[in-house]
Chains A and B, each alone.
Chain A
Amino acid sequence: MYSEKILALFKKDGIEIGDKVSITDSRGETEGILMPRPDVGESDIIVIKRDDGYNVGIKYTAKAKIKKKAARKQEEPKSSHAAIKSNAKLPKISLLYTGGTIGSKLDYVSGGVRTLTKPEELLAEVPELSGVSEIEVKNVMNVFSEDITYVEWQKIAEETAAALNKGSRGVIITLGTDTMHYTAAALSFMLQGLNAPVIMTGAQRSSDRGSSDAFINLLCSAYAASRSDIAEVAICMHADSSDRECMLIRGTKARKLHTSRRDAFKPVNNSPIAHVSRGGEIKYSSDYKKTEDQKSKVTVKGLFEPKVSLLKVHPNSSPDVLEYLSGKGYRGVILEGTGLGHTPMNTKHKDYNWSSSIKKAVDDGMIIGMASQCIYGRVNSKVYSTARELAKLGVIYCEDMLPETAYVKLGFLLGNYKHDEATAMLAKNIAGEITERTEADWTVSD
């Protein structure tokens, strides 16, 4: 933003953002369009867009003279994109828009990216979609993924069920990628009787860039939602750094494993369900729940216990945190243990030993699950005495479940089931989150 001083000056001279202006200082005259000031740095720097398209920042000093040359051109920018054509002969799917980078556009006011006001704009960027399916777009919310809570999960689950019950063949949900795997897990548990593909997608590069991954992600998602027979929640994002194909990853087995790459999402302890090429070819590579010829409705088991937490164990980690949570009324904790699933138990400094705190928490009714911070692999309570003791204290070993999925699952179980039921269900597979076999190719890169 410009400073109050500068804004007052603009006001006095009737200058508005977008006007053609000139600033005269010791360097002479600089002419161009007055641009909004990005929300960074000194605010008495005036940003001018020159005729050649370049922006330059000129510091406003008492000696400088700013003059309005011409008023802002009022013509609305013409969009050269044709509106998306609907084709009733194609399968009808729904697209639920929830925000995130995929719907981000450059914001010239803040200097950052802003979210689209009309999600339809996004489809217009991918004209190929009109040949794939008839898409009904719904603007469900506009939230950054880091700000999504279980309330949003419930809302998205309900909207998904509503779209499917109204006759959509499949649903695409676009959302921010940071916590996409949490939302995917939540929907995997919440949607009951799911008999259609629910495809989550997003983007690592905003869609105002010619190189955005959003275009291919949307296209492949549309193929998956309108042509696949997957009856699960899956994430559909780039399979590798090329814009060639996307990978469909089971919602309970996905993790964001890179901060910025377009192929940030990988399946963990699981093969991808399928690969979808940009040309629409779907290659299945593992077992999945298939759609069945039935007309029953999708329902939502949407309750969630927010008093559940995910704790990472590390050298010097103190069980005080667990005691604090227990004291605050938390009903469940997933420990992200070391290795096969351990916490410190026999350190020379007994403040760091977790056994008594765990025992107390379990006795007070807290459900404690164990997953591994190794990300890949399965926890095991039989190999080391530490784990044997933890299991004896009542810690539930969550097999090959991802810590994030285990967290979502525990919140879901505590929200919808009684304590004993929840305890019994945590380490039992309900939505593909636990597999019995650990596949030999432990990382799947493409």
Chain B
Amino acid sequence: MALDYKELGFKCGLEIHQRLDTKTKLFCRCSTDSKDQNPIMEIERYQRAVAGETGLIDRSTSFESSRKREFRYKVFRNTTCLVDIDEEPPHSPNKEAIGTALRISAYVDADVPDEIQPMRKEVLDGSDPSAFQRSMMVAYGGKLQVGNRLINIPSVFLEEESSGIEDTKGEKATYRTDRLGIPLIEVDTDPSIANPAEAKEVAKQIGLLLRLSGRAQRGIGSIRQDVNVSIKRGTRVEIKGLQELDRMDSIIEKEVERQRNLVEIMDELNKRKASVGKPQDITKIFKDTKAAIIDNSIKSNGVVLGAKLNKFKGIVCREINEGKRLGTEISEYTKKGGVKGIIHSDENLEKYGLTEKEAEEIRAALKASEDDAFILIAAEQGAAEKSMGYALLRAGLAISGVPPETRNAEPNSDTTRFMRPLPGGSRMYPETDILPISIDPGSYAKMKKEKLSIQEISRKLEEEIGNKQLSDQMLWSHNFQTYNYIKENISVKPNVIAGILLEKLTELRRKGIPADEISAEVLLEIFKRYEKEKITRLGIEEVLKLLPKSPADIDRLIKTKGLSRFTKAEVEEIVRKNKGKDANDTRNRVMSKHRINVDGEELNSAIKKAFGV
């Protein structure tokens, strides 16, 4: 059903994050290339919330801190240094990254401050060993023409990439620090995006601008789109971790559906004058229980906590998104306290092995009537208390509607799950270990003046490639940077480069060959061998299939796999040996045996020569 987004009070803004492939990280000189390494050590850290610049502890940071989590960091030889693990002050900012950020800012016509002020953005989910992420506002007040709409770009940031999470178990999380500190550009839009389809289009355009910088990192996770969505009577919810643009519109649609359902639940709960009770230890009810989950928990010295949700009957199981209920959302909060989930009265309690008698005893103990719902948590006391606190927090928030949250896009689905409360502005304070960065207004003005519009770039590309379909495809491809890089370094025809990068790489990917992982430098080397007539165009494809890792690797493969291009004399010799009844027959004979080694044009001239036509 098509929704009237205007009527819904739909508001949507994007935050596009792009990792840069600068030579080194933003505030240290570690390599940004984080492939194939084993950690040299692991360290263990604990973090706590401290007051920000305005003196208040931000609501999201204190939420994480109250969870008292233990973080482990994997440290690598070439990609982690003391700066990354909070053992050394930051080095000077990476000029290449600042230049790239300014170039991107110029593309969206943004203004730059006279002085960029490096900030610390407090993060306590452990993704940064220093408990903050260094971040700078590079530009503001930009705009982007998308179709006939002008979308405002209020800010462009340059910040440090966080650590990659590898594993999380209860209150313990393990991160890799190789990715940490790589420069990350964030381009934000204002919340004026009109509908989910437009959101996708805007994201696509921003992605292109980022690639125009020539410094966008390729590969999975190198670009991430965060979406902020709200509707009338709903709340701003931030959805993180969208890696594929394809799903953006459906994820937004699902969030709209979620907020509409939560608003309905809010209205119903308010009509009923619903409220949330207090946790109670009801372990003794389950002395002889047959419910395995509860029994196991008690046997390992756990407790059973119960709490009443006044007038919530039938609401906990109310569907919010397909397969997701209010109970699911309560359970997601609960998990942050370290337990697996909750049992609630809106579900079939028999499936846990709870008897009717037990259910009655629970209701009696919690003084719950038929109109009320209840939730149970069975776990070790500390975890149970903490988790029940979170469960009741979420249940209570249902009475006031949509909670402001950061949510995570779920893999292979369009739904999302709770990550943490939405952070506010108080988690920012100045990075005093780095001096403010002065910007030369003159050179930035020049950058702005000389930049090309997307239309101009598109026209230039079409001229170059000589094929509108191919050039359009190239403009929007993640290989656009690689195309430019190869084109600038050799004199192979642009359409050959474009054809290989677009069609052949896609073809190989579909066959399950990860040819996208071949670095731009190695790709260039392959094309160089084509340029020097060492391989044919078909030979390029054959080399790609074998996933070479270095120039030496390419040469070895050409030699050992018989991929060398035949010389003119060799082709003439082969034509002589395979001479058939006519030119076509000869061509077919030669091609059936030597298609990879024979250049088409060279074969044609040899045939012409042989048949004297």
Using a CB–CB cutoff of 8 Å, the interface residues on chain A facing chain B are: 27-28, 30, 38, 40-42, 45, 47, 49-59, 76-80, 106, 108, 111-113, 125, 204-205, 207-212, 215-216, 240-244, 259-262, 278
In Å, the complex CA distance between A113 and B436 comes to: 16
Contacts of A28 in B (CB 8 A): 111, 141
User: B54 contacts which chain A residues (CB < 8 A)?
Assistant: 77
Question: A208-B51, A211-B45 known; A57 and B116 CB under 8 Å?
Answer: yes
A57–B115 CB distance below 8 A: yes
Quick check: A56 and B116 within 8 Å, CB to CB? yes
Q: Which residues of A contact B55 (CB under 8 A)?
A: 76-79
Interface residue? B519 (CB, 8 A): no
Compute how far the CA of A28 lies from the CA of B152 in the bound complex, rounded to whole angstroms. Answer: 14
Known contacts A54-B137, A56-B137, A209-B130: does B48 contact A260 (CB below 8 Å)?
no
Closest A residue to B46 by CB, please name it.
A243
Instruction: Say which residue of A45, A111, A210 sits within 8 Å of B430 (CB atoms).
Output: A111
B65 touches A210 (CB 8 A): yes
A50 touches B137 (CB 8 A): yes
In angstroms, Cα B135 to Cα A42, docked, is 21
Interface centre among B54, B111, B136, B436 (most CB of A within 10 A): B436
Q: Are B117 and A241 in touch, CB under 8 angstroms? A: no
| A217, chain B: closest CB distance, angstroms | 12
CA distance A77 to B58 in the complex (A): 12
A241-B115 in contact (CB<8A)? no
| Contact residues in A for B438 (Cβ distance below 8 Å) | 41-42
- The answer to the question of B86 belonging to the interface, with a C-beta cut-off of 8 Å to chain A, is yes
Closest 10 CB pairs of A and B: A77-B55, A57-B115, A210-B131, A53-B428, A53-B425, A56-B113, A55-B117, A59-B114, A27-B111, A54-B137
Tell yes or no: B508 within 8 A of A by CB: no
Stretch of B118-126, B314-322, B392-400, B473-481 contacting A (4+ beta carbons < 8 Å): B118-126
List, in ascending order, chain A residues with CB within 8 A of B114's CB: 45, 57-59
Quick check: is B89 within 8 A (CB to CB) of the other chain? yes
Residues of B close to A51: CB separation below 8 A: 425
In contact, B48 and A108 (Cβ under 8 angstroms):
no
Q: Would you list 21 pairs from A and B whose C-beta atoms are within 8 A, ordered by A residue?
A: A30-B113, A49-B428, A53-B121, A54-B157, A55-B117, A55-B428, A57-B115, A59-B114, A59-B115, A78-B56, A106-B429, A106-B430, A125-B48, A210-B61, A211-B45, A211-B86, A215-B46, A241-B85, A261-B87, A261-B88, A278-B46
Q: Is the CB of A41 within 8 A of B430?
A: no
The answer to whether B117 and A56 have CB atoms under 8 Å apart is: yes
| Chain B residue contacts of A56, Cβ below 8 A | 113, 115-117, 137, 140
Q: Which residue of B lies closest to A53 (CB)?
A: B428
Complex Cα–Cα for A96 and B114 (A): 45
Q: How far is the CB of B204 from chain A (nearest CB, A)?
A: 25
How far apart sit A57 and B435, CA to CA, in the bound complex (Å)? Answer: 12
Could you tell me if B428 and A211 are in contact, using CB atoms closer than 8 angstroms?
no
With known contacts A53-B427, A205-B86, A261-B82, A125–B50 Cβ distance under 8 A: yes
Complex: A211 Cα to B114 Cα, angstroms: 31
- Let me know if B45 and A58 touch, CB within 8 A: no
Residues of B within 8 A of A216 (CB): 46
* Given A27-B141, A211-B130, A215-B46, CB of A55 within 8 Å of CB of B425: no
A41 and B86 within 8 A (CB)? no
Given contacts A54-B155, A80-B57, A244-B44, contact A260 B132 (CB under 8 A): no
Q: In the complex the two chains form, is A52's CB within 8 Å of B425's CB?
A: yes
| Cβ contact within 8 Å between B44 and A262 | no
Which chain A residue has the least Cβ–Cβ distance from B432?
A111
What's the Cα separation between A262 and B130 when bound, in Å? Answer: 12
Most buried by B among A77, A79, A108, A259: A77
Distance A40 CA – B430 CA, assembled complex (angstroms): 13
Measured CA separation A118–B395 after assembly (Å): 40
Q: A53-B427, A210-B49 are in contact. Are A260 and B88 (CB under 8 A)?
A: yes
Given contacts A209-B132, A260-B82, 8 further A-B contacts (CB under 8 A): A49-B53, A54-B157, A57-B113, A79-B55, A106-B429, A106-B430, A108-B429, A260-B87
Residues in B neighbouring A53, C-beta threshold 8 A: 119, 121, 425-428
Tell me the interface secondary structure of chain A in the complex. Answer: loop
Is B578 part of the binding interface, using a Cβ–Cβ cutoff of 8 Å?
Answer: no
Closest to A205 in B: B86
Q: Is the CB of B44 within 8 A of A243?
A: yes
Residues of B within 8 A of A38 (CB): 430, 432, 436
Q: Does B78 contact A (CB under 8 A)?
A: no
Measured CA separation A53–B155 after assembly (Å): 12
- Residues on A with C-beta less than 8 A from B82 are 260-261
Q: When chains A and B are docked, how far (Å) is the Cα of A79 from the Cα of B57?
A: 8
Distance between A38 CB and nearest chain B CB, rounded to angstroms: 7
* In the complex, residue of chain B having the shortest beta-carbon distance to the beta carbon of A36: B430
Q: Which of A47, A78, A212, A242 contacts B43 (CB 8 A)?
A: A242
Contacts of A259 in B (CB 8 A): 88
Residues of chain A lying within 8 A (CB to CB) of residue B88 = 259-261
The digit string for B20-63, where 1 denotes a CB below 8 A from any CB of A, is 00000000000000000000000111111111011111000110
Q: Which residue of the partner chain A has the closest CB to B62?
A: A80
Q: Which residues of A contact B62 (CB under 8 A)?
A: 80
Q: CA A210 – CA B430 in complex, angstroms? A: 14
Cα of A40 to Cα of B135 in the assembled complex, Å: 19
With contacts A57-B116, A106-B432 taken as known, whether A242 is within 8 angstroms of B51 at the C-beta atoms is no
* Interchain CA distance A278-B44 in the complex, whole Å: 12
Interface centre among A42, A57, A79, A216 (most CB of B within 10 A): A57
What CA separation (Å) do A260 and B436 show in the bound complex? 22
Shortest CB–CB separation between residue A58 and chain B, in angstroms? Answer: 6
B113 touches A77 (CB 8 A): no
Residues of A within 8 A of B43 (CB): 240-242
Q: How far is the CA of A79 from the CA of B429 in the complex (A)?
A: 17
Which residues on B sit within 8 Å (CB–CB) of A41?
115, 435-436, 438
Q: How far is the CA of A242 from the CA of B45 in the complex (A)?
A: 6
Contacts of B136 in A (CB 8 A): 54
**Closest chain B residue to A76, Cβ basis:** B55
Judge if B338 is at the interface, Cβ distance under 8 Å: no
Q: How far is the CB of A241 from chain B (nearest CB, A)?
A: 5
Q: Whose C-beta in chain A lies nearest to the C-beta of B188?
A: A52
Instruction: Tell whether B327 is near chain A: CB-to-CB under 8 Å.
Output: no
Is B129 on the interface with A (CB-CB < 8 A)? yes
**B47's contact among A57, A76, A204, A211, by CB below 8 Å, is which?**
A211
Out of B53, B56, B61, B135, name the residue touching A108 (CB < 8 Å): B53
Whether A210 contacts B122 in the complex (CB less than 8 A), given A56-B115, A56-B116, comes out as yes
- The CA-CA distance from A207 to B129 in the complex, in Å, is 15
In whole angstroms, how far apart are the Cα atoms of A240 and B41 in the complex?
Answer: 12
Within 8 A of A (CB), among B119-167: 119, 121-122, 124, 129-132, 135-137, 140-141, 155, 157
CA distance A112 to B435 in the complex (A): 11
> Could you tell me which residues of chain B, from 213 to 258, have a CB within 8 Å of some CB in chain A?
none
Q: With CB as the reference atom, state the residue of chain A lying closest to B118.
A: A55
Residues in B48-98 with C-beta less than 8 Å from chain A: 48-51, 53-57, 61-62, 65, 82, 85-89
CA separation between A243 and B70, bound complex, in Å? 9
Asked whether B131 lies within 8 Å of A211 as measured between CB atoms, the reply is yes
CA–CA, A27 and B112, complex, Å: 8
Inter-chain contact B436/A40, CB cutoff 8 Å: yes
Least Cβ–Cβ distance between B117 and chain A, in angstroms: 4
Q: Mark B100-112, 1 if CB is under 8 A from A, else 0.
A: 0000000000010
Q: How far is the CB of B228 from chain A (nearest CB, A)?
A: 12
How far does the alpha carbon of A57 sit from the alpha carbon of B430 in the complex, in Å?
Answer: 12
Known: A106-B429, A106-B430, A243-B45. A209 touches B131 (CB 8 A): yes
Q: Which of B419-455 contact A (CB under 8 A)?
A: 425-430, 432, 435-436, 438
| Min distance, Cβ B124 to any Cβ of chain A, angstroms | 6
The smallest C-beta distance from A52 to any residue of chain B, in angstroms, reads 6
With a 10 A CB-CB cut-off, give which of A79, A80, A108, A211 has the most chain B CB atoms: A211
Within 8 A of A (CB), among B325-342: none
Residues from chain B with a CB closer than 8 A to the CB of A215 are: 46, 48
- Nearest CB of A to B125, in Å: 11
Query: Which B residue sits closest to A56, measured CB to CB?
Result: B113
